[in-house]
């Protein structure tokens, strides 16, 4: 099964039509196909809040790893106010493994980053996702060519709202 999700930035109206295409090929070296997981804080829709004008707002959530797995790629997803993000595995026995640190997040760059070596996780480990936002007047997106006026922003799927999501490519352990 394949699920394709395409995000459109509706605040930048260019009048151009979408010409998305997709070519797929499973490499012969792939012996165990994996799964693309989106890791979302179940409380986020109610708890993510970025006040108008606030420059440094952080949102962090921890979720337990439910089963043993190997992580191969990691990404973080926010919208237009996101400016930094990270994904870290907090180990059950102590210590941590940083999967991804994006100090200068850009909404227009939403790629999964291959990990140098696959990282094994298991029950007892916790995934910590951190997102940072800048809702100051200096960091507003352009709407019809003009900077948007800062407004309170909450969780939502639209480009004008925000998210804090980890995206992982996982194979069974």
At residue 157, the pLDDT reads 85
Average pLDDT score, the chain: 87
C-alpha distances in angstroms, 169 versus 2, 30, 41, 118?
14, 13, 18, 10
In a domain, 18, yes or no: no
In a domain, 114, yes or no: yes
Structural domains in the chain (count): 1
pLDDT (tens digit per residue) in 28-46: 766 667 777 787 877 777 8
Place of tokens 């941590």: 96
pLDDT (tens digit per residue) in 117-138: 999 999 999 999 999 999 999 9
At residue 1, the pLDDT reads 47
In a domain, 143, yes or no: no
- The vertex-72 CA angle with 2 and 21, nearest 5°, equals 35
At residue 159, the pLDDT reads 85
Neighbouring CB atoms inside 10 A of 48's CB total 21
Mean pLDDT by 10 residues, the chain (173 residues): 62 67 73 76 84 96 92 94 96 96 92 92 96 96 89 91 93 86
Query: Which of 129, 132, 87 lies closest to 105 in space, CA to CA?
Result: 132
Residues in the chain, total: 173
Q: Which CATH number characterizes residue 155's domain?
A: 2.60.120.230
In a domain, 102, yes or no: yes
Residue range(s) defining the domain that contains residue 64 = 50-137+148-172
This prediction has a pTM of 0.81
Residue 171, Cβ density class (10 Å: 0-12 exposed, 13-18 middle, ≥19 buried): middle
At residue 15, the pLDDT reads 64
């Amino acid at each position: 099964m394949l699920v394709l999700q395409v995000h459109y930035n509706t605040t930048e109206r260019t009048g151009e039509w979408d010409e998305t295409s997709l070519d797929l090929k499973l490499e012969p070296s792939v012996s165990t196909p994996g799964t693309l997981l989106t890791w979302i804080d179940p409380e986020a829709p109610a708890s993510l809040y970025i006040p108008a004008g606030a420059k440094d707002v952080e949102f962090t959530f921890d979720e337990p790893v439910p089963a043993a797995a190997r992580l191969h790629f990691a990404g973080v997803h926010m919208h237009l106010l996101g400016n930094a993000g990270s994904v870290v595995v907090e180990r059950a026995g102590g210590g941590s493994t940083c999967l991804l640190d994006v100090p200068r997040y850009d909404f227009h760059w939403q790629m999964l980053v291959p990990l140098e070596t696959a990282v094994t996780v298991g029950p007892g480990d916790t995934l910590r996702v951190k997102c940072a936002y800048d809702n100051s007047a200096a960091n507003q997106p352009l709407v019809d060519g003009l900077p948007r006026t800062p407004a309170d922003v909450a969780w939502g799927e639209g480009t004008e709202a925000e998210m804090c999501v980890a995206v992982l490519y996982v194979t069974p352990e």
